[in-house]
Amino acid sequence: MIPFVVLAGSYVMGAVDFADAAYREAWLHHPVLGDPSFDTFERYSHNPVYTGAPPYEWPVNGTLFRDPKSGRWYAYVSLYPKGYWPAGPTRLLRSCDDGASWEDRGIVITGDKDMFDGDGVSAGATCDASIAVDAHGYHAAYGWAKPDNSDGGIAYAFAASPEGPFIRDAAPIHAESAQPILPPGYKRVYASSIVRRKRDWIILASMSTPRNAGGMWAFIAMTAPEARGPYSPPIVLRSPQQDTWAPQPVEFFPAFVHGGHIYAPLTSVAANRGYHVVYRAAIEEAHRPEAWQVWQDGSVFHAEPNEWESRGIWGQAVAGFIGPGERLRVLYPSRNAEGMGTINFATRPWKKPYRDGFRLSAPNAPSLALLLRYFMELDMEIELKANGPWRFIWARRGPLGSDRAAADAEPSPLCWRSMVELRLAALDWSLSTYTDDGASAVLAKGMKTDGLSGTLALKQESNTATIVWNGAPLGHVELHALPGGLALVAEKGSYLHVNHFRVKGDERPGSEFLLPVEGLLGAGSREKDWETIPRGRYGNGFACSREDARAKWNFIGRRVRIWAPRGPDYGDAEIWLDGASQGHVSFRAGQDRDSEVIWESKELDSGRHAMAIVRLTGTMPVDTIEVVP
């Protein structure tokens, strides 16, 4: 470390504050890596309104309903045991004072050992209920499953009151046992929302693999002339197998209706479930895939460091309903510090979804807030509150991606390469550099006693970096300026509230490199169907010779390049961009060659895109794609 020199004046005169909501789209929103959320939701003071207890420790998958006749609010809560199986019935909560207090009204939909959910000995699951009302009464679509989960699907029940008793139809709306495999492997329909339309009824639902084993998730619709059916076969509205932008891994449930539209939130099923994408369609057109548009990508909802929601969102997306005063009220499930499920409420103005300042939540794994701008020399200042350790990264040039192509994914260790990192803990700090191969070197470190919240100022000049924390110098070190991105990282269990993120600097062009596992995740491909191969841009890639081999990346940018190795053991593939073929590409070569650019797009409209590589012949290798934001 070289002697510290106090710098006169402000670091950020004339800087851009990227914590302003106007710059929300300057940040990466990713189902696994992280989502800096600018949402305006405020929690209810009486949370939680319900806490799980044995044998149903995990109450999740709730829906919210306001009765237009009485004005009362109802929450239909699914009861699951720890580990989810065997799932249980539906419990009803009621509020007669506009949500100020809630009372438990008991079980309203329950299984029967002698009906289709039972096995003759035990009743099965009757959960994930949603409610729609018409002149005749209250119609429920709910999920069902055998006690051993050998069969399941969705079913119908009717009541004259939202409090029941609900009379179940003798046969289900949909049963996995009667559903042929919907390629490449969808069979179980679950987590349904029922909506009345002018001339028919529509059910929106999730669809996954047999026994709802997961691995890939589709958002589907079914229609019927009457609420109880018969319903059409599933119509796939969004899935990873489509050649359009569709972030993964996400799962639908439940929808809500407002102003002639249906809103469908899909939530991440990664380790942190803080990312949501909300699709919207006109009610009368909602059975058509092309009618659905992205209404909100990220910044939907944030977690907070409350004891009753220590695991963040758990089990589903927020369940919304637009009530009086044009306010969006949501039910959200979580788990407390003891592992018990909790049911909670929050609200925001419908027409004001965003505010200045963002939250970054990491309840179950590290969470990354990545600014999609690139700087070399810079002056900046971050003002934040934190309850746990966090990192600030600059000169970041490493790749992005998940650690697995499956649920509960978290950022890949490869994300923490090619960067400069300042780490702040409660009592100490360190400044380190990381090379392309992950080797690290500590440039400076020390002790501190002023906590985790405050103001960080950084000045990166051509050959030195100066760091000030809460007005006191941390370090002035020799550090050559390199172009790269900026990022905040909340460590596992940490929550950041960033009030200001001011940057003034030498902005440079840059690229983001998405790892090969992102291609498998985006396509809904099982990692076990691929072999690991060397010569990737960041180490290993994947290869597959199955006839249906396919990889797909979802990205936001203006240009994309495909990197891949070549060799005598590889074949040919077709490239698809936003559903249009871009021609064929060959991975063949006389000898093995390291990953290189094998294809580049033309200039694209800045926005959401999807690029797929589909095997034609031989073995198809999959490596990295490079995106120019």
Q: What is the pLDDT of residues 320-369, one digit of tens each?
A: 999 888 999 999 999 999 999 999 999 999 999 999 999 999 999 999 99
User: With 70 as the cut, is the pLDDT of residue 467 above it?
Assistant: yes
CA 543, distance to chain mean position in Å, is 27
Q: What is the pLDDT of residues 6-63, one digit of tens each?
A: 333 344 567 899 999 999 999 999 999 999 999 999 999 999 999 999 999 999 889 9
Residue 360 CA to residue 367 CA, distance in Å, equals 7
Confidence (pLDDT) at 10: 41
> Which of 488, 347, 387, 448 is closest to 19 using CA atoms?
488
User: With 90 as the cut, is the pLDDT of residue 315 above it?
Assistant: no
Quick one: fold of 16-32+363-508? Answer: Jelly Rolls (2.60.120)
Tokens 């495909």 sit on residue: 562
User: With 80 as the cut, is the pLDDT of residue 4 above it?
Assistant: no
Q: State both tokens at 548.
A: 């249906």
Strand spans (E) along 148-259:
152-159, 167-168, 174-175, 188-196, 201-208, 218-224, 235-238, 250-252, 256-258
What is the band of 475 on the pLDDT scale with cuts at 50, 70, 90?
confident
> Which of 238, 347, 226 is closest to 297 using CA atoms?
238
Tokens 């679509």 sit on residue: 141
Rounded to an integer, the average pLDDT of 406-425 is 95
Helix (H, G, I), strand (E, B) or coil at 106: strand
The domain segmentation of the chain, as residue ranges, is 16-32+363-508, 41-352, 512-628
- Please state whether the peptide bond connecting residue 184 to the residue before it is cis, i.e. omega within 30 degrees of 0: yes
Q: Which residue has the higher pLDDT, 606 or 454?
A: 454
Q: What is the pLDDT of residues 147-177, one digit of tens each?
A: 999 999 999 999 999 999 999 999 999 999 9
CATH of 41-352, picked from 2.40.160.40, 2.115.10.20, 3.90.550.10, 3.20.20.140, is 2.115.10.20
Amino acid present at 100? A
Q: State both tokens at 278.
A: 């909300």
How crowded is residue 106: how many other Cβ atoms within 10 Å of its Cβ? 12
Confidence (pLDDT) at 606: 87
For the chain, helix (H) and strand (E) counts, in that order, are 1, 47
Q: What is the pLDDT of residues 606-626, one digit of tens each?
A: 899 999 999 999 999 999 999
What is the band of 83 on the pLDDT scale with cuts at 50, 70, 90?
confident
Quick one: fold of 512-628? Answer: Jelly Rolls (2.60.120)
Calculate what percentage of the chain has a pLDDT beyond 70: 98
Confidence (pLDDT) at 13: 60
Rounded to an integer, the average pLDDT of 595-601 is 96
Whole-number average pLDDT of the chain: 94
Confidence (pLDDT) at 9: 35
Amino acid present at 144? W
Q: State both tokens at 117.
A: 């959910």
Rounded to an integer, the average pLDDT of 443-457 is 91
Calculate what percentage of the chain has a pLDDT beyond 90: 90
Q: Strands 167-168 and 174-175: what pairing?
A: unpaired
Q: State both tokens at 2.
A: 């070289």
Domains 16-32+363-508 and 41-352 share a fold: no
Amino acid present at 487? A
Question: How much is the pTM?
Answer: 0.94
Confidence (pLDDT) at 182: 94
Residue 123 CA to residue 86 CA, distance in Å, equals 10
Q: Is 350 exposed, middle or buried (0-12, 13-18, 19+ CB in 10 A)?
A: middle
CA 36, distance to chain mean position in Å, is 12
Q: Is the CB of residue 498 less than 8 Å from the CB of residue 382?
A: yes
User: With 50 as the cut, is the pLDDT of residue 284 above it?
Assistant: yes
Q: What is the pLDDT of residues 193-219, one digit of tens each?
A: 999 999 999 999 999 999 988 889 999
- Please state whether the peptide bond connecting residue 86 to the residue before it is cis, i.e. omega within 30 degrees of 0: yes
